[in-house]
């Protein structure tokens, strides 16, 4: 990943040159992780760049901030205008967009009450998280010894900056062992999620995934894939998942905005199926990409063309 082509950042209502989009070392969020964020993809379509499910991402962004008692100082309409303006200003045909709401500089007490709420938005070209060939190669994963935190500890359904320290520890452990990605269990021993992706398993023609009771972030890509799979005629069940469910699955895949849809080839050295991308996963993967690239009119409502939104602003 390189930020090299990014020229502008949106910060607290203004477009700022990339190299000047900085904060002070005393910012509360830098010390304590007191921020929330979103990851949004903008895809190249026949109608120009289009943001995928921006409304759902902004809704979650606002909800995450509310959990941490931060009131975002901009409306969803203003954030939409800021994001589309940023994509246009940078001249991107496709990119990844990262809004970040965080506690700024005032003091360094753990209680952030007096610290201002700041907001920045980044955009840069970013290939799929696990590489441009990940959709074919798949992921080698391991069961992490790190557990995903319980909702009594922190709210997993909020996409908060500091909470990802849990994932950092897990993914570094996995990489040191030669794997691509960890699978975290929850405190009860059920499957939770990967470092930053949701998990789906396929047994026969049935697709299963878990939900918030197992300490997961309710991913926007997860919700999209559930809808796509059901539209394709597959049964999708929301159930608790065990390690045995994963190890005996015919197919398995993970989903996330950054990762998109990627199959799991093996777990702790054991192949899932034949180790290749299975037929159901492949079909869902293909339909998901058709949706995000504007090639399936049935999901056109998920896309906001940047040029259309920018024209409306004028």
Active site residues: 159
- Do residues 286 and 278 touch, judged by C-beta distance below 8 A? no
User: 306 — phi, psi (to 5°)?
Assistant: -65, -45
Instruction: Tell me which residue of 275, 254, 262 sits closest to 183, measured CA to CA.
Output: 254
d(CA 86, CA 124): 10
- Do residues 198 and 219 touch, judged by C-beta distance below 8 A? yes
**Token pair for 106:** 């005032």
Work out the widest C-alpha separation in the chain, in whole angstroms.
Answer: 56
CB atoms within 10 A of CB 114: 10
């Amino acid at each position: 990943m390189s930020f090299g082509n990014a020229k502008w950042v949106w910060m607290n209502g203004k477009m700022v040159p990339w190299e000047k989009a900085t904060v002070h070392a005393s910012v509360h969020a830098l010390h304590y992780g007191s921020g929330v964020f979103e990851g949004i993809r903008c895809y190249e379509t026949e109608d120009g760049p289009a943001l995928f499910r921006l409304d759902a991402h902004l809704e979650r962004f606002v909800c995450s901030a509310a959990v941490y008692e931060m009131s975002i100082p901009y409306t969803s309409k203003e954030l939409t205008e800021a994001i589309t303006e940023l994509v246009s200003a940078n001249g991107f045909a496709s990119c990844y967009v990262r809004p970040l709401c965080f506690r700024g500089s005032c003091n360094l007490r753990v209680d952030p009450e007096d610290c201002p709420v700041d907001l920045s938005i980044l955009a840069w070209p970013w290939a799929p998280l696990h590489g441009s060939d990940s959709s074919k190669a798949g992921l080698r994963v391991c069961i992490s010894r790190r557990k995903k935190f319980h909702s009594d500890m922190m709210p997993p359904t909020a996409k908060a900056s500091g909470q990802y320290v849990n994932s950092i520890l897990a993914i570094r452990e996995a990489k040191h062992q030669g794997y691509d990605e960890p699978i975290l269990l929850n405190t009860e021993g059920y499957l939770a999620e990967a470092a930053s992706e949701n998990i789906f398993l396929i047994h026969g023609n049935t697709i299963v995934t878990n939900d918030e009771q197992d300490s997961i972030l309710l991913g926007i890509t997860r919700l999209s894939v559930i809808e796509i799979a059901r539209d394709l005629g597959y049964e999708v069940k929301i159930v608790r998942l065990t390690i045995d469910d994963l190890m005996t699955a015919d197919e398995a895949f993970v989903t996330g905005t950054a990762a998109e849809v990627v199959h799991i080839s093996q777990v702790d050295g054991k192949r899932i199926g034949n180790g290749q991308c299975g037929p159901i996963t492949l079909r869902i993967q293909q339909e998901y990409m058709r949706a995000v690239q504007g090639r399936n009119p049935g999901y056109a409502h998920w896309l906001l063309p940047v040029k259309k939104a920018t024209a409306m602003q004028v």
